[in-house]
Structure 1
Amino acid sequence: MPTLSPAIAEIRRAVRPALADLPDGAAVIVALSGGADSLALAAATAFEARSRGIRLISATIDHALQEGSADAAADAAAKAEALGIRSRVRRVEVRADADGPEAAAREARYAALRAIAAEEAAAAVLLGHTLDDQAETVLLGLARGSGTASLQGMAARREDEDGTVWLRPLLGVRRATTEAFCAASELSPWNDPHNTQHRYARVRVRENVLPVLEAELGPGVAEALARTAEQLREDAEAFDEMIHETIEDIVEHAEAGISVSVAALAANPAALRHRIIRLVAHSEFGASLSRSQTLEVARLVTDWTGQGPIDLPGCSAARRGARIVFTAH
């Protein structure tokens, strides 16, 4: 009996628990670009799904951003069919985005995957992000200085408000392992030309920043960054639980908005106070406050000198007596 490749064994082991919570016979989408990560994920999932009767559908998104994209998408679909996976290909329009082409392509891709999942009544969408992707995400978040939310990286499991479940089984697997999986399985992955173009920040992190960190600080930097993301995510979950327990007692509905007790905000540590302010603005008005905006609102509590209303995205915040009142524009 031939020996199973260690890479194949590792990725199958990573996929198995991700499928464990899904009902037998469920439909599952695997996002397939044709690259080594998604191809290894698709092949391992196809193997693990058989014993559970799980119906696997591959979804390949053609962003139409480079010449030959339709051919690359068709090739990925053909590889899925060869693995016994029913394939779907969807072409999307990537609109200009203030955050850059990467963000715009990601938004279009996730919207298409969400739509396909709804059409197939899928229990989950599997994504091929690896430990290397997680480390890159943490470094990019650190460079942006956008706080612990960015440093948490990507969640292994996330459920959207519309019920779409996203699973990332390979967050503990190195990219080199997915490449070894494909070699051992005689699969020929597609090499996305965008992955070598240095105008993209993620490519620069992958090819320049992480190798330098590994060379100067020693091996294990990527794993350390991934561990940091996991620990911060655990801390954030604990904070969120504390906030939701606290917020019920200190928030009241106000005319055209919502109000928060000044005394209660002042009694909480700064980290919790700031999270409450951000949560109120986001949940009530869909506003994502920057660090400086959050601190300005907090000053209405901790450094009140009679300042007027603070203009925020979608709303304003003002101190009125013993409460901070958020109202829509």
Structure 2
Amino acid sequence: MPSLSPAIAEIRLAVRTALVDLPDGTTLVVALSGGADSLALAAATAFEARARGMQVVSATIDHGLQEGSAAAAAAAAAKAQALGIRASVERVQVAGSSSGSGTGIGGAGGPEAAARDARYAALGRIAAEERAVAVLLGHTLDDQAETVLLGLARGSGAASLQGMAPSRADEDGVIWLRPMLGVRRETTRAFCAASDLVPWDDPHNLDDRFARVRVRERVLPVLEAELGPGIAAALARTAAQLREDTEAFDEMIHETIEDIVEHAEAGISVSVAALAANPAALRNRIIRLVAHSEFGASLTRTQTVEVARLVTEWSGQGPIDLPGCSATRQGGQIVFTART
């Protein structure tokens, strides 16, 4: 019997490990673009699912942003069916794009964010229709490294630098899994070659209009050349360490917030004395969490610091306008109220 390819063994093990806590006989959705990463993930998931009586459905999302996208989606579905996977294809409208196959794309977070939002919404709908317990995504260690660099460029703190979570549950109870965050992109291509699978090469992956492509094609190679090999793995390790720290920090915040937050008329209030007694990092996280949980507001660093000055540098300043709410100091409280 021929020996198993190391690439196939590595990715199957990664999938097996990710699925270990899921019940047998359940349904899984695998996001499948037809590229090497998602194709390797689909094949490995189909193999691992058989032994546990799991049903696998591939979900191919056609963004309609380039000529031939419908044919590429149909080809991905055909490859899934050849693997014994039931295939689903959904066409989505990306914010700011035309209904045709042009590349006009937009959205508040840029073209990549608009396409991602449409894709994730579609994957969520398919998971709900299939009553799936989990959606599997084909992001690799290289994707994680790119995400960390993009977060660093935005200057948005640990929330971005911790990258993509290997597992998270959404409000509907669906678990989103990224089994291959420890797998290099080159390994997924080796998996496909060893499995006689022919991946699709998305032209957008070479389009330098996209920030992620510029990071992949220009920034990371320069870092590797100037600082030595292993940069991608180091960035991924940094993300994992920051995620552990953030999870511990979040537990501390939720324990603290129960004691210092009170409901106020048309909003919520936080004790000035309690905020002042906490270190700046914890104080700022509490402020951001209150604004987000109560009003859905995502505060920038500048906005957060301005609210914190109501605690640490109080000199009678008036209300601070924030997205969806305002913050003001009233006696011994910082009061957040909805903006009309």
Query: What TM-score comes out, normalization by structure 2 length?
Result: 0.96
Instruction: Determine whether 1:240 maps to 2:240.
Output: no
- The match for 1:206 is 216
**How far apart are the structure 1 equivalents of 2:219 and 2:245?**
27
Letter in 1 for 2:36: A
Letter in 1 for 2:10: E
Q: Cα distance, 1:299 vs. partner?
A: 0.1
- The match for 1:50 is 50
RMSD of aligned alpha carbons:
0.5
Q: Cα distance, 1:164 vs. partner?
A: 2.2
Letter in 2 for 1:157: S
Find the residue that maps to 2:318 and give its secondary structure.
coil
Of 170, 173, 187 in structure 2, the residue corresponding to residue 177 of structure 1 is 187
Q: Cα distance, 1:19 vs. partner?
A: 1.1
- The match for 1:73 is 73
The answer on whether the counterparts of 2:133 and 2:173 sit within 8 Å (CA) in structure 1 is no
- The match for 2:7 is 7
Letter in 2 for 1:287: A
Of 152, 157, 163 in structure 2, the residue corresponding to residue 153 of structure 1 is 163
- The match for 1:91 is 91
Instruction: Determine whether 1:284 maps to 2:286.
Output: no
**How far apart are the structure 1 equivalents of 2:143 and 2:164?**
9
- The match for 2:100 is none
- The match for 2:99 is none
- The match for 2:110 is 100
Of 267, 271, 286 in structure 2, the residue corresponding to residue 257 of structure 1 is 267
**How far apart are the structure 2 equivalents of 1:284 and 1:162?**
20
- The match for 1:60 is 60
Q: CA deviation digits over 1:37-57, x for unaligned, max 9?
A: 000000001001100000000
Q: Which runs of 5+ in 2 are unaligned?
A: 97-106
Instruction: Determine whether 1:274 maps to 2:292.
Output: no
**How far apart are the structure 2 equivalents of 1:152 and 1:239?**
13
Q: Cα distance, 1:162 vs. partner?
A: 2.4
**How far apart are the structure 2 equivalents of 1:327 and 1:86?**
49
Q: Which runs of 5+ in 1 are unaligned?
A: none
**How far apart are the structure 1 equivalents of 2:192 and 2:45?**
14
Find the residue that maps to 1:89 and give its secondary structure.
strand
* Identity across matched positions, percent: 81
Q: Which moved more, 1:178-187 or 1:162-171?
A: 162-171
Find the residue that maps to 1:24 and give its secondary structure.
coil
Q: Cα distance, 1:17 vs. partner?
A: 1.1
- The match for 1:31 is 31
Of 123, 140, 145 in structure 2, the residue corresponding to residue 130 of structure 1 is 140
- The match for 2:104 is none
Letter in 2 for 1:17: T
**How far apart are the structure 2 equivalents of 1:19 and 1:227?**
22
Find the residue that maps to 1:279 and give its secondary structure.
helix
Instruction: Determine whether 1:298 maps to 2:318.
Output: no
**How far apart are the structure 1 equivalents of 2:120 and 2:300?**
24
**How far apart are the structure 2 equivalents of 1:193 and 1:220?**
27
Find the residue that maps to 1:155 and give its secondary structure.
coil
Find the residue that maps to 2:58 and give its secondary structure.
strand
Q: Cα distance, 1:205 vs. partner?
A: 0.3
**How far apart are the structure 2 equivalents of 1:125 and 1:99?**
24
Letter in 1 for 2:52: R
Q: Cα distance, 1:98 vs. partner?
A: 2.1
Find the residue that maps to 1:208 and give its secondary structure.
helix
- The match for 1:19 is 19
